[in-house]
């Protein structure tokens, strides 16, 4: 069941648009809660211009803290988002274990997000991917706006797959499709991931769904059906790309894990720890979060399903 990996992006995607700055010690406490829950990958932040995204100003400090001995288990990977070579240099300096980078298939979104056209961004990202791989780092390359764009509408699948081919050609072995605008629907998810499988049956697949139109979890389950292994989600359902037309939150981590546990998957994750982190975040921002589990409560035990229900779910 551990073939289904949870990649928590809350410390980056979840917080990047929040106006109330979160103190470093509070971020550390939340991340320690995530580590203790047993999830697999935590995205501590992004190496971007702190003037443009102030919430990411302490990304280096977070890596310096958690990369110290005994601050995290060996089985937990710490990732970061990088947009350019300067960001990659900063990440290499503090020991980032997994670099996440990507190119938008939408020209409008790409210009708003990075100031570059997709062609310019692709040139930059492919060069970064080569450097990170040569440095022995894990690399996940994504196609953003893969399922549609709030500015341009539908995105041709050929544009998505051409970016995927470029990633594969430089040796990237983990490919992510990101639904930046939240336009995706399950059949489209299955078709696009299926097309990537045809290009390279052995590639690791990842997904990142925004919940703009309420289909984030449905699309995640379609991705699971399509053989996707890595699922990006955010504590409390926070987040959303600030450079899309309609910014909306991510699939909430505790909601995703709750659903997977009802299916008999990832019973090793401590759901109670995830819910507690989301509760602390809701308290800090003094507002309700999008997470349905915080509102409705869990219907599985915090250590996994009761034996009788588990037998039913996995039959």
Catalytic residue numbers, as ranges: 241
DSSP track, 267-278: TTS-HHHHHHHH
Distances from the Cα of 34 to the Cα of 16, 235, 255, angstroms = 18, 9, 14
Distance CA 167, CA 289 (A): 35
Residue with tokens 């211009």: 49
Contact 211, 251 (CB under 8 A): yes
Burial of 185: CB neighbours in 10 Å, binned 0-12, 13-18, 19+: middle
Q: CA nearest 128: which of 156, 166, 101, 93?
A: 101
Whether 13 and 45 have beta carbons less than 8 Å apart is answered as no
Could you tell me if 178 and 146 are in contact, meaning their C-beta atoms sit under 8 angstroms apart?
yes
């Amino acid at each position: 069941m551990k073939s289904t990996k949870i990649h928590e992006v809350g410390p980056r995607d979840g917080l990047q648009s929040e106006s109330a700055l979160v103190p470093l010690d509070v971020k550390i406490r939340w991340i320690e809660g995530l580590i203790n829950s047993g999830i697999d990958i935590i995205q501590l932040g992004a190496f971007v211009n702190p003037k443009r995204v102030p919430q990411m100003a302490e990304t280096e400090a977070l890596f310096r803290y958690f990369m110290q001995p005994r601050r995290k288990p060996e089985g937990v990977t710490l990732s970061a988002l990088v947009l350019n070579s300067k960001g990659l240099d900063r990440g290499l300096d503090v020991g980032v274990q997994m670099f996440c980078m990507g190119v938008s298939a939408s020209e409008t979104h790409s210009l708003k997000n990075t100031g570059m056209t997709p062609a310019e961004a692709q040139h930059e990202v492919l060069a970064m991917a080569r450097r990170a791989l040569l440095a022995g780092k894990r690399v996940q390359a994504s196609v953003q706006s893969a399922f549609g764009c709030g500015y341009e509408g539908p995105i041709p699948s050929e544009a998505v797959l051409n970016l995927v081919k470029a990633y594969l050609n430089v040796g990237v072995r983990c490919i992510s499709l990101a639904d930046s605008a939240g336009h995706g629907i399950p059949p489209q998810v299955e078709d696009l991931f299926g097309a990537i499988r045809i290009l390279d049956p052995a590639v690791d697949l990842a997904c990142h769904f925004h919940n703009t139109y309420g289909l984030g979890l449905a699309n995640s389950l379609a991705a699971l059906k399509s053989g996707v292994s890595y699922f990006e989600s955010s504590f409390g359902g926070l987040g959303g790309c600030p450079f899309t037309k309609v910014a909306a939150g991510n699939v909430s981590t505790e909601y995703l894990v709750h659903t997977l546990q009802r299916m008999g998957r990832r019973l090793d994750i401590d759901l109670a720890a995830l819910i507690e982190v989301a509760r602390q975040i809701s308290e800090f921002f003094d507002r309700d979060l999008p997470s349905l589990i915080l509102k409705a409560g869990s219907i599985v035990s915090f250590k996994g399903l009761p034996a009788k229900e588990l037998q039913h779910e996995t039959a």
